[in-house]
Amino acid sequence: MLVTSGDPYVPGRGDASYEVRHYDLDLDYKVSSNRLSGRARLDVVATQHLTQLRIDLVGLRVSKVSTGRLTTRWTQRGGHVTVTLPRPLDPGETTSVTLTYAGNPGPARSVWGEVGWEELDDGVLVASQPTGAPTWFPCNDHPRSKATYRIAIECDSPYTVCVTGTLTGRYVRGSRTRHVFDEAHPMATYLAAVHVGQYDRAVLAEGPVRQVVVAPPRLHRQVLGDLQLQPRMMDLFVDLFGRYPFADYTVVVTPDELEIPLEAQGMATFGPNWLSGRGAHQRLIAHELAHQWFGNSLTVTSWADIWLNEGFACYAEWLWSEASGGPAADVLATQHRTRLAGLAQDFVLADPGPDTMFDDRVYKRGALTLHALRLHLGDESFWALLRAWVADHEHGSVSTAEFVAHAATVDPSGDAERLLEGWLRQPALPALPRPARR
């Protein structure tokens, strides 16, 4: 079997020789024993000639694999399940593979720390970026491979279950409750999330985008206080970026403190240390919301393009600051460029390397790149470019090269392309341009 690596930043994860079109997950979880049992059906399409499928799964054991109605030969080792297909597939041909599996899930070790399924004091959360998805379901773990999902999970009835997607069914069976969620918009594996906990729900806003808060009852007052401006952020970002790309937006607040907030599709997760009731982290609320456009709807083609997620979300922080009476984006850009100029300039933004991909310099230089482009083009052209970028690639995959080409259509002189080349492809930090006179 020819295995085509998914991404050089995460060797051994993902396989470019096939894509998954749809995941159907049927899960059973027992909180007290952290026991997960599952059955996963993957509807796949070959991108090259295939006799086997290599599927990512970490820390859980497979007991049965079938293709269609046929029991299929398989092996499991090193974080992969290798499935021998009953007949070869040519490019474009499809099949369905079903895996039955179980175990005690936990996070996977990575160069970025532990990622994936994580037990809390009383419940669980999933934080999968970038390689944690295989800790709870078999998958082709690469952001370029986006699929639709149906996720059913049965759990002890006293617990609230919150999963990416729209709740389409809830069935009480004695002391346990089955929840069914559907995600009709294509989603990368790392953006699929599960939360189980002693939570209550509250509606923050009914429209134009429904916004929901899921949090322990004792935390609701402080959390709702910190999130009271989120509906205004939503209005601002819809105006600047275009329509909100999903059915609704849910903020989950865990009882345990978290090192950082986390995005998932149509969802963000905060620890109570970030929403303490003092309003100290409004920029992070804006950051996670902006990821619904940049990262979740428009998902990177490769992890080298991470600035397209984090630089855009960081710039959204500055835009919210400007709109809400704080420092203007131009002031923040000047301050952060001065700070970055005093730090090591030893990476290239368009390919920072796996060890640096979540470095704060990537976030800030990414935001500065956008501000430099805005100064060069002028507001009218810049916002038209950004809205077109979002609309043209909604629910798709994007790359740095595509963004540069997109900018070139607005400025056919080549000046925008040359400006972006300096910010994206050269280690040295460029100067911010003077505002355009247009």
* Every domain range in the chain assigned CATH 1.10.390.10: 300-425
What are the tokens at 302? Answer: 């490769």
Q: What is the pLDDT of residues 375-388, one digit of tens each?
A: 999 999 999 999 99
For 231-270, give one letter per residue: b (16+ CB within 10 A) or e.
bebbebbeebbbebbbebbbbbbbbbebeebbbbbbbbbb
| pLDDT value of position 294 | 98
Q: What is the pLDDT of residues 319-331, one digit of tens each?
A: 999 999 999 999 9
29 is catalytic: no
pTM given for the model: 0.97
- Residue among 77, 73, 37 at smallest CA distance from 57: 77
Q: How many CB atoms lie within 10 A of CB 37?
A: 16
**CB distance 237 to 249 below 8 Å:** no
pLDDT interval class at 197 (50, 70, 90): very high
Q: What is the pLDDT of residues 160-186, one digit of tens each?
A: 999 999 999 999 999 999 999 999 999
Catalytic hit among 118, 288, 317, 402: 288
Residue 59 has pLDDT above 50, yes or no: yes
Inter-axis angle of helices 329-341 and 307-323, nearest 10? 130
| pLDDT value of position 316 | 98
Rounded Cα distance between 353 and 355, Å, is 6
In percent, the amount of the chain with pLDDT more than 70 equals 98
Query: Does 287 belong to an annotated binding site?
Result: yes
| pLDDT value of position 437 | 63
Residue 48 has pLDDT above 50, yes or no: yes
Q: What is the pLDDT of residues 8-31, one digit of tens each?
A: 999 989 999 999 999 999 999 999
Q: Domain 300-425, what architecture?
A: Orthogonal Bundle (1.10)
* Every domain range in the chain assigned CATH 3.30.2010.30: 200-283
Query: Does 195 belong to an annotated binding site?
Result: no
Catalytic hit among 101, 149, 249, 363: 363
Q: What is the CATH number of domain 18-197?
A: 2.60.40.1730
CATH class as words, domain 200-283: alpha beta
Query: Does 291 belong to an annotated binding site?
Result: yes
Residue 107 has pLDDT above 70, yes or no: yes
| pLDDT value of position 68 | 84
Q: What is the pLDDT of residues 348-385, one digit of tens each?
A: 999 999 999 999 999 999 999 999 999 999 999 999 99
Which residues, listed in sequence order, are joined to residue 96 by a DSSP beta bridge?
43
| pLDDT value of position 3 | 47
363 is catalytic: yes
Q: What is the pLDDT of residues 388-436, one digit of tens each?
A: 999 999 999 999 999 999 999 999 899 999 999 999 999 999 999 999 7
CB-based burial of residue 191 (10 Å sphere; 0-12 exposed, 13-18 middle, 19+ buried)? buried
| pLDDT value of position 4 | 58
| pLDDT value of position 436 | 78
pLDDT interval class at 5 (50, 70, 90): low
pLDDT interval class at 1 (50, 70, 90): very low
Average pLDDT for 89-113: 96
